[in-house]
Structure 1
Amino acid sequence: MAHGQRTQRHRRRHRRLPDAPPRPVRQPRVTRKKASPPRQRRKDPNRHHPKHAKQRPTPDSSVRAGNGPIMATIEKYQTSRGETRYMVRYRKPDHTSTKKRGFTRKKDAQEWLAKHAVIDIRQGTYTDPTLSRTTIGQIHEQWTQERTPYWKPSSLERRNDTWRLYLQDSLEHLEISRLTTQYAQQLISRIAATYSRSTTEACIVTLRGITRTAIRDHLIPNDPMTGIHPPKNTTDRRHRYITVPQLLSLADAAARGNRLTDPQRNRDIILLLGFCGLRWGELAGLRVEDIDLTANRIHIRHNAHQMNDGTWVDGTPKGGKPRSVPMPRIVADTLKRRVENLQPNDLVFPSPSGGYLRTVNRKAGGWWRGAFNRAGLDSMPAHDLRHTAASIAVHAGANVKALQRMLGHANASMTLDVYADLFDSDLDMVAANINRAITVAESGET
């Protein structure tokens, strides 16, 4: 049977009748395939073997950081005179490219590269050769600008005076990379031989601030000020104290002074300095609102300081922290009478012109020196009455912590260092108590 006859028979057999219903459409069968687990790649146990590592072409005279990118290359070049020189190109830690030229031998370039561009970068002691030529004067200016928001005007003035008077001539144009420990020690030794220990300490603090700024900015690898300390204090300068009767006699002598200098004010100043231990700047900045007559307390919140140009600055007390000072009855009665008709923001001890009161000069003739002469006492600086206040407080039973809070010291150890001689009687008391305990023990045995 031919192919065409079979096809016609198939069509007649499956011919649809006219009245037959439509055939249902057969939907395709949908089968869901199960998700197969991910194929686990078989790891080659020898995949880290050196022979499997990808070989990268390395140019001659180059340095790599492990298997990372090239850090530096050594290149040959000709000078204008036709001489052969070598140049090192390398990347700094901030990924910027730089170069070092002028090596006569390739070996010298390789040694310099190993020291400055590989070891120092890996150890974090890299210094930029270009920036290391920055002068100390430029770094001092940067350091001063950075610290100005944190310093009081008086501190800023002292820092600038230290630099201008003692360090500027020797260090202003010196490159920071040329400042060695030997040079710094010779400079500090010359200053210590001529000036006081406090001046030497101020110079060391300024130099350390400069060198630490240079280390932070990666201008030098090490601090040349390491191991440099101020000379030991060999002078045995003991504080001078006056007794309570002598202090009262001095106050009365000040009240008998020239009426043009306000003798009653002068008496009140001596009582306040001698019994409460205020600094002169704290006394000059004292306001009526700082005196609490109910609690017998003086709240030290202000410190008046006169700048070199004659202007006054009302700042915070030393250390930046306010404190409260107790008042004995004689001081409270004096201040109560003095602030009776004043406004809360008025100064308690203004100058004759209404401004801040300038400190007294014990060497020049004035009401201060005249009061000591009339009282039969040797003149002393106004700050020494602060030592007298500490002595009176200790003999009244104040412990070290109470004395520290009264004087405004940073910590109790500083108070002990300054006024160690006031606590010598405590040692005698310890010895007496031990002897008493031994006596009691021996009497009990017998």
Structure 2
Amino acid sequence: MTTVASVEPYQVGGKQRYRARWRTPEHKSREKGGFTTKEAAKLFLADKVVSMARGDYIDTSLSKVTIGERAGAWLAGKESALKPSAFYALEITWRLHVEPRWGSVALQAVEHSEVQAWVAELAARRSATVTLRAYGILAGILDVAVKDRRVTRNVARDVDLPRKRKKAHVYLTHEQVDALAREAGQYATLVRVLAYTGIRWGEASGLRVKHLDMLRGRLQVDENAVKVGTEVIVGSPKSHRVRSVPFPRFLAESLARQCEGKTREQLVFGDGHNHITTPSWRDGWFVYAKRRSGVPAELTIHDLRHTAASLAIAAGANVKAVQRMLGHASAAMTLDVYGHLFDDDLDAVSAALDEAVRVSSVGDLWAIGDSGTSETSAIPVIARK
């Protein structure tokens, strides 16, 4: 039977010292010397044996690797799980903000106070979004180190993080959408499609002639084209699900003009071959169209998606219809984003209930007078005997 742990004496400089030897759960031999007494070596070894029995043994030799050495595998795992655009932002954040500070630091050398100081310093000069992303990378790498039993706990957890403030949505009226589209020139149809269907820019960019059903007034969201760095990456929609989105009939003619002379496989917007890319936020056509149309200057391309949701809700669409149109994972997600736009429905509910009571016999039981209020008190007549 192989000895799992042992203490052996040895001589160094004419003095007796003791060495503790043990095998890890992976059956690798480890040792630590320099103990002045046999008892001290036994106590050290007992702690190792107990930790292995509990399942929380940490091989300290493995915790000497650096954050940078562990980052490659962590990023590779994220690349296979994330959309190219999301991974691109992650990889950029690692190179610019995490690697310079933590790349050469050993796993076992990371301290909670230093992580907190780094987060505070980063938040002071960068946005909450960038800070939280950078922190998430460091914490994620350490989470894996804990699972791999390289460190006992993740010291990056439970630090104070900046709050990410949600940007206020800009909602356009029908008149404002029309004004913006008129000033957008050749992109007029694109603006109207974004504002009345709620599809994302990348989904509009990937829209092909074959995806349009003019008879039903539907467009099929099947592709998503996003510019990542200098390259346009074509993939599935954000939700990874194909969806059918209705478009108003008044868009049919202008959409048909976009498809003239194109094959079924060609792109609806642009020259049919190359995906259109988002306009420059400094001096692109969208900037000038906003300025000339008089819509709010803070309007973004993505706000046209929010506009589509608001116009649909105002037209009477329920939350499930809006969810399906936008491709949200659940109605709860739709309510989280646009719940405030349904507030007017509460007034409609109370008015409908009031009318229903008036036309039923129940109204008589409550002694409702011509003025619409109780003639006596708030206590129902039926309760009096």
> Is this contact kept in 2: 1:132–1:220, CA < 8 A?
yes
> Is this contact kept in 1: 2:194–2:305, CA < 8 A?
yes
Equivalent position to 2:33, from 101, 113, 120? 101
Is the aligned partner of 1:396 residue 2:326?
A: no
Change (3 A) 1:413 1:182: farther
Is the aligned partner of 1:224 residue 2:155?
A: yes
Letter in 1 for 2:313: V
Is the aligned partner of 1:374 residue 2:304?
A: no
Is the aligned partner of 1:240 residue 2:160?
A: no
Deviation at residue 158 of structure 1 after TM alignment: 1.6
Is the aligned partner of 1:249 residue 2:179?
A: yes
Equivalent position to 1:268, from 175, 189, 192? 189
Q: Distance in 2 between matches of 1:295 and 1:84?
A: 91
> Is this contact kept in 2: 1:361–1:381, CA < 8 A?
no
Q: Does 243-252 or 408-417 show the bigger shift?
A: 408-417
The number of equivalent residue pairs is: 364
Equivalent position to 1:443, from 345, 367, 370? 367
Deviation at residue 139 of structure 1 after TM alignment: 0.9
* 2:335 counterpart residue number: 416
* 2:325 counterpart residue number: 406
In structure 1, runs of 5+ residues without a counterpart are 1-67, 255-262
Deviation at residue 314 of structure 1 after TM alignment: 0.9
Deviation at residue 412 of structure 1 after TM alignment: 2.4
> Is this contact kept in 1: 2:98–2:137, CA < 8 A?
no
Aligned-pair Cα RMSD in Å: 2.5
Q: Distance in 2 between matches of 1:322 and 1:104?
A: 70
Question: Looking at CA atoms only, which structure, 1 or 2, has the larger radius of gyration?
Answer: 1
Deviation at residue 78 of structure 1 after TM alignment: 2.2
In structure 2, runs of 5+ residues without a counterpart are 369-379
Letter in 2 for 1:377: V
Change (3 A) 1:393 1:108: farther
Q: Distance in 2 between matches of 1:119 and 1:428?
A: 66
**Aligned ranges for residues 34-433 of structure 1 at < 5 Å?**
70-79=3-12, 81-115=13-47, 117-228=48-159, 230-233=161-164, 235=165, 237-254=167-184, 263=185, 265-308=186-229, 310-350=230-270, 354-364=273-283, 366-379=284-297, 380-432=299-351
CA shift digits 1:267-310 (9 cap, x unpaired):
111101110112211121211122122322111111112222x1
Q: Distance in 2 between matches of 1:105 and 1:170?
A: 41
Q: Distance in 1 between matches of 2:188 and 2:118?
A: 47
CA shift digits 1:210-237 (9 cap, x unpaired):
123212322112233433474334x474
Change (3 A) 1:377 1:205: same
> Is this contact kept in 2: 1:360–1:382, CA < 8 A?
no
Deviation at residue 432 of structure 1 after TM alignment: 4.3
* 1:43 counterpart residue number: none
The SS at the match of 2:343 is: helix
The SS at the match of 1:443 is: coil
The SS at the match of 1:242 is: coil
> Is this contact kept in 1: 2:181–2:192, CA < 8 A?
yes
Deviation at residue 173 of structure 1 after TM alignment: 0.8
Deviation at residue 431 of structure 1 after TM alignment: 4.8
> Is this contact kept in 2: 1:137–1:168, CA < 8 A?
yes
Deviation at residue 388 of structure 1 after TM alignment: 0.5
Change (3 A) 1:293 1:177: same
Change (3 A) 1:201 1:437: farther
CA shift digits 1:2-28 (9 cap, x unpaired):
xxxxxxxxxxxxxxxxxxxxxxxxxxx
The SS at the match of 2:4 is: strand
Change (3 A) 1:285 1:236: closer
CA shift digits 1:35-85 (9 cap, x unpaired):
xxxxxxxxxxxxxxxxxxxxxxxxxxxxxxxxx864211122223x34433
Change (3 A) 1:367 1:232: closer
Q: Does 128-137 or 203-212 show the bigger shift?
A: 203-212
Change (3 A) 1:336 1:204: same
Q: Distance in 2 between matches of 1:208 and 1:301?
A: 35
Change (3 A) 1:237 1:435: farther
Deviation at residue 208 of structure 1 after TM alignment: 3.4
Q: Distance in 2 between matches of 1:191 and 1:430?
A: 48
Letter in 2 for 1:102: G
Deviation at residue 390 of structure 1 after TM alignment: 0.8
> Is this contact kept in 1: 2:258–2:269, CA < 8 A?
no
Change (3 A) 1:114 1:185: farther
Letter in 2 for 1:327: F
* 2:375 counterpart residue number: none
Letter in 2 for 1:249: A
> Is this contact kept in 2: 1:351–1:358, CA < 8 A?
no
Q: Distance in 2 between matches of 1:96 and 1:187?
A: 36
* 1:60 counterpart residue number: none
* 2:371 counterpart residue number: none
TM-score normalised by the chain length of structure 1: 0.75
CA shift digits 1:231-254 (9 cap, x unpaired):
334x47421111112212222233
Deviation at residue 436 of structure 1 after TM alignment: 6.0
